[in-house]
Amino acid sequence: MNSALIESELGTFRAQFTETGLARLQFPQAKADPLANAIDPPAKWLHQTTSALHTMLQGKTPRTLPPLDLSVGTAFRQAVWDLLLAIPGGTVQTYGELAYQLNQPKAARAVGGACGANPIPVIVPCHRVVGANGSLTGFSGGMKWKVRLLRIEGIELPLH
């Protein structure tokens, strides 16, 4: 399986790349999930990914991100993932707010589905999305990771 292991203070993440860029980032202890079209990453992409991940795990915003391959998602999911990249560190938005930004105010659940399907968590910060009343809802890496990532960014919990 073509993947790169990225060591951090919080464990070893698994990154997988395609010809287009970083396509998947898996949390420590996650079961390895092979990516059919994975390649060995160019050194520059691996360095950018490692740097971005470490920066985010310190609660800061990376200056640069590696090229991202988010092509696994539908057009709607890709639009949600683009919005996630625009949420400033240390802040949260609700699923409904993102749905409204997409001019689909009744699509909050679909936004949640897109967040859950995000193949590059942490770097594409789906952990910054919360329920309408500030509640912490599901997270692909588990609620402990969501809480940990929000706290790293200085977000006081509970939000409501």
* Rounded Cα gap, residues 28 and 153, in angstroms: 19
**Per annotation, catalytic residue among 126, 129, 130, 150:** 126
Q: Which residues pair with 103 in a beta bridge?
A: none
Q: Which residues pair with 68 in a beta bridge?
A: 22
Nearest-5° angle of CA 129, CA 133, CA 138?
45
Is 126 one of the catalytic residues? Answer: yes
Known catalytic residues are 126
